[in-house]
Structure 1
């Protein structure tokens, strides 16, 4: 049996250019950010731990983009259906992981600003690593039924591309897979909307707290940076995560590619979070520690 999949989609240079741009920009941005986070910032900080995992998630998405570029540039898919399945899962995992880790960063900033003393025992490296481990485990568990649906679509679709499915399955099997697909799609929307709500509440609480402390001795620049973090988080949810999550249910599957392009841009925006979230992002860890002691 031949494991390769004979796909004949229409080439679309616009999609190829967008994915290529995200790949060319996202790879160095996230690679450099990850290097700086690991080299110059201590992983004893919960915020830094969340950002390292966010950068890893973005890099996993970026390494899947060359095949998307090839597919939309040439209209052919040279790899197996399993490779197509893996690349699709990397994109979906990035949406979930990015949404969750961005929310963790927001909640961490919320606790640091609104409850700086009472939250010290919560904002520890140990708790951060436990949270990160649970998130990765959660995503892997979700991949099991989702991978089954994708595999069924690829194996049974009579006319498909690697990221678009148009064929008809046997009726019973089609109904079962469609029910599971709908359940996963609703789950995705509920997850994104819930995390967006957490970010909205966190933004409101932090904004009120900073407004009350407007005359404090704290530097205004730091307050601006804090609000920029929350503003960027909301932008990524409303532009990158929410449209594609809703589009899975409301748009035909072979017409959702524009929203996928939009969602993939989040891996180019995330590095800005690192700059605004961590004090002296470009400085060495020793310099940051010294500045805090003075």
Structure 2
């Protein structure tokens, strides 16, 4: 059964071993990094600014992805799926949710930095904890709503092939482009555009010093945040979204899915560069944030 599954999926045992090693490495790195980041954000920062609210939820999204990786490691290491189809669909939804929620939370972090640097005074009524929590609630609701039709579609695809294929069930030959594929890709492209615009506006403001009321302590760190966000989209989120939309051959998709899972290991760097006092006590951070 194991040999049949690998040949049926169009992958070799050697390639599946590589996938298992990569997922295992992401799990080993991503779990402690995100647990530590979440602990630091909650212990030292404690929702002192809207950006921290988005960062906490980004860390939670990454942890949800990490907990799904052990079964991906098992699948690629053995070529079989020991659980029922519901478990396969659930784990796959965690991965898709991570791409969507992570891309949205990263964009909101960029927008929050944009408002703080370019419009520090006029944006104070927008950059509130209440508005941040409302946005977070809507984001998770949007992500979960997309799961309903997507889960139904994946369930039908899984029933048409062998259940032991699990994570390859959505990559059947000549897959039809679904409305969810369009929504997913349009979302990623729209958010990428927003990040590009935010990067351009902040870069222009920092170079021209047009707004002296925006007290930026470390301009390099600010730009690193935006560059990291753009790299996250172009390397991890966009390729796998375009491949699914245009229905490319299956052997291109699994490597890109594997690549996209690595985003959870880099997000902790975003927290570090976003907060000058990442390792400081909460009282020091509140003073730093009050200066913005």
Distance 1:32 1:239, change over 3 A: same
Residues 37 and 59 in structure 2, CA contact (< 8 A), matched pair in contact too: yes
Contact 2:101 2:143 survives alignment (8 Å): yes
Partner of 1:271: 268
Total equivalences in the alignment: 280
Aligned equivalent of 1:189: 185
> CA separation in 1, counterparts of 2:212 and 2:33?
35
Instruction: List per-residue Cα deviations over 1:252-285 (Å, max 9, x = no partner).
Output: 2454110001101100011001001112101110
**Alignment gaps of 5+ in structure 2:** 7-11
Instruction: Kindly indicate whether residue 18 of structure 2 is the aligned counterpart of residue 14 of structure 1.
Output: yes
2:147 alignment partner, SS class: helix
Matches of residues 105-124 of structure 1 in structure 2 within 5 Å? 105-124=109-128
Q: Deviation per CA, 1:111-145: give whole Å up to 9, x if none.
A: 00000000000000000000000000001110000
Counterpart selection for 1:81 from 85, 101, 123: 85
Gaps of 5+ in 1: 1-6, 169-173
Moved over 4 A (4+): 214-221, 290-294
Conservation of the 8 A alpha-carbon contact between 1:44 and 1:124: no
**Structure 1 contact 27–62 (Cα < 8 Å) conserved:** yes
**Map of 2:135 onto structure 1:** 131
1:251 is displaced (CA, Å) by 1.6
8 Å contact kept, 1:103–1:195: yes
Structure 2 residue aligned with 1:90: 94
Give the counterpart of 1:288 among 269, 285, 288: 285
C-alpha distance 215-49 of structure 1, shift in aligned 2 (>3 A): closer
| TM-score when normalising by structure 2 | 0.89
What is the distance in 1 between the residues matched to 2:255 and 2:56?
28
Counterparts of 2:279 and 2:100 in 1: how far apart (Å)?
Answer: 28
After superposition, the C-alpha distances for 1:196-234 in whole angstroms (9 at most, x for unaligned) are: 000000000000000012997988861000000000000
Conserved? CA contact 1:160–1:167, under 8 Å? no
CA 1:159–1:139 in structure 2 vs 1: closer, same or farther (change >3 Å)?
A: closer
The answer to whether the 8 Å contact 2:23/2:73 transfers is yes
In the alignment, is the contact (CA less than 8 A) between 2:117 and 2:215 conserved in 1? no
| Partner of residue 171, structure 1 | none
Aligned mates of 2:289, 2:86 — CA distance in 1: 50
Q: In the superposition, relative to structure 1, how do residues 159 and 142 fare at CA in structure 2: closer, same or farther (>3 Å)? A: closer
Q: CA deviation at 1:108?
A: 0.2
- Cα RMSD for the two superposed structures: 2.4
1:55-113 alpha-carbon deviations (Å, 9 max, x no partner):
00000000000000011111111111000000100000000000000000000000000
Shift of 1:153: 1.1
Match of 1:99 in 2: 103
Q: Note the 1:29-40 alignment, pairs <5 A.
A: 29-40=33-44
Q: CA deviation at 1:288?
A: 2.4
Contact 2:120 2:213 in 1 (8 A): no
